Structure 1
């Protein structure tokens, strides 16, 4: 039995070998698990096109023998199949399973989850949100999409108008990035050896590179700024001697070093053309040097009409040409110190402009004659009363040195209250001269008001009844007002009756039966108290 069994096994093996050689196709079609896809249909009749007997890894080589582009990617370690090691060493059938029918998709490409970073073109910046069909055209393989910038952006390229190909850039990435087409990253310093500074940094490329010419661009200032040259090339072509790239109008010219004329004060801010009226700034000859005297520029500003000569700097300086900023020392030069309000007065207020130099009088009246309210009656020595701080305020006239010292309320009264005329002399000093209208007694007590009244207050008086009259005021009489007894305006106080009855007749309960000598029983403390003698 063992011999028969072994003999049968050998026979089967030989039979299978014979069948595989003689009639392989019909047999393989019997054992094939299913139909292949439409693209592989023509290879279906011969399994050896895709399968190698007893070799799994050999099958991958057969796949790559047909798919040459994929094979090239795997060997070159590029593209989707070559960049990733896990994909590069994997068996083809692990992703692409065959024998499932003619219309089955064995690629299994899912756009939504595909990792584009595993390809040769990493998606970054503005490329990320793009739809696949923006770059991958319909009915074309995804791998056939070109990855150069020009393949997509040629229509947008402003450089396509360049007249010569040599003037065009080869790689867009030299200047542009995927984050934004208009955001340039071109390193002008490294690439061209021409560093962009100041306003050049923000200048548009085409401002210098006319007609898209990017090679052999002239680097001299005059090549671009010829139209800005106000000197019309008379100062040469080395513009950077004076001008900077920060701003064409800002000059770096060192006036001290290059002209020996230091610019100070307002001269620093003065435009060049204010002094340099002609286009050229150079000296034509030694004889025709640029004028440096003040008068050469400021003759039109001379309010003195040349009366004080041409040495303007003896009074004026560069900070301000005006009168307020003059450095003329009035006290030292004229022996007339400017004080108070005189300090703020403009020069021409006192010094009137004339064609001849005139010595100005230093007396107050020479300027203030029109302000003299006294009309010259007090003379010309105004400073005896007035000060330069204020013409009307702080009058320093000492009234106490006159025959009428000011006391009390008189010191607060304005001068013109008493001095009604412009002349301040020969004024009457009696009280009644000013206070006639205030006289309650209507002149019947005479003109010696100061016997009772004081200048502190007209209503406060100091008449001593006991000393200045023959009727002494005692007790309750001290509280009685004057007009209680003096109910009429009298010429003399002494004529007023002094007996009690003259005032107290209405208070007499005796109706005159005891006579008029009330003081025999009554006293001044209290009329109701009786002191019988």
Structure 2
């Protein structure tokens, strides 16, 4: 009974003594330190509260101060006593951590508030669920233990597929758009049209781990077909850049390296130098008919060669080296309605077929006068060349080769006359004037009278009495049949001994006729 009274008395005296020493109840966080036996855990006997006592308990804060980290290691706080800001014994509900949120310099903590962080309430970040340090997490109320990395507060929407340093791409003003991201610093710099493509066109949105996920890492880009459909179906190989550039699929490079031979249409001749767009209008993928030249080229001849709904192709006469010139052969021409013979074989095509600006191959005529001017039309009777058929007299070898049968006329050609050309008699010398009618059979109608009418009788001179058709040599002249018969010495004289040259009106001729035949006429 005595012991019980003693204990009760001791407790009463202790409580009375502590009540006399303590200025008030401790705050809730320090409530476990109530009691006189715990005073030295915060106080030094005979002295005030020292920082060392506080830091012995608050070891997380102590570590940060020793490492010169955080607000308590800043120039504004370093050297101060903890009790200056965090006094106790003001009751259970007293807030040990008190400061003016509007004037608090958050940059002193080592984490300066920028952008959207400036407008957030402190509790938005300083929550127990964001506290990474387990020692701080055990506290009911603390501002310590937060990790400055974005992912410690914000959900990693990239699900650890990108760098944990969000500031590499994002700013604290806004997560969208990622204004600090520069695609040029990646393994795939954006060039040409790729610079204007919306991100979502390449970086697809899907669901991963039950969350909305947009893939940025691991996107294949080693080939254009990783993103683009090969409209050529690998016909031209896997390297789109051989023909296309990143500026536009519709803009094709100079296709120096493109092997058109792998296509259905091999480029040869002039086609090698043709610009791609001349054939591939609008699209390089659209099929082009190319079985015939006329699929691309206009028919210059405007259907001249169409027969019975069948049309020969340009390549039947031309080559791929150019439309100038033709491979149309003489053998082919000879199968036409106008076979080439004689001089026509050496006649250039344009002499007959390019009569005007354009070449003409149809309805240009089949007879000579369709191409050649009939110079005989007004002077030669049709009976000698029916229907103006030049071949009645001429041949295709040359115009001067004439086979006209002169016996059909009233004047049969004999002797030297057979050897003469038509022009000798029927064309006036020095003029192109023709004459086929109006002739008589008298020699002097063509030949000059060199005897100055000495042998004229009744207005006519018969040359054939002395001359013959073969030549002008006098082979049959008989002087005995003249008025002066040659006798004696006269019979052996040369003709020129008696028949001497005379001149009349500047014309020299040989005198064959004499007024009389007395000796004095010749002899003096």
Fold-level similarity (TM above 0.5): no
Alignment TM class, shorter chain as reference: 0.3 to 0.5
TM-score by structure 1 length? 0.43
Between structure 1 and structure 2, the one with the greater Rg is 2
TM-score by structure 2 length? 0.43
Q: Which one has a larger percent helix, Structure 1 or Structure 2? A: 1
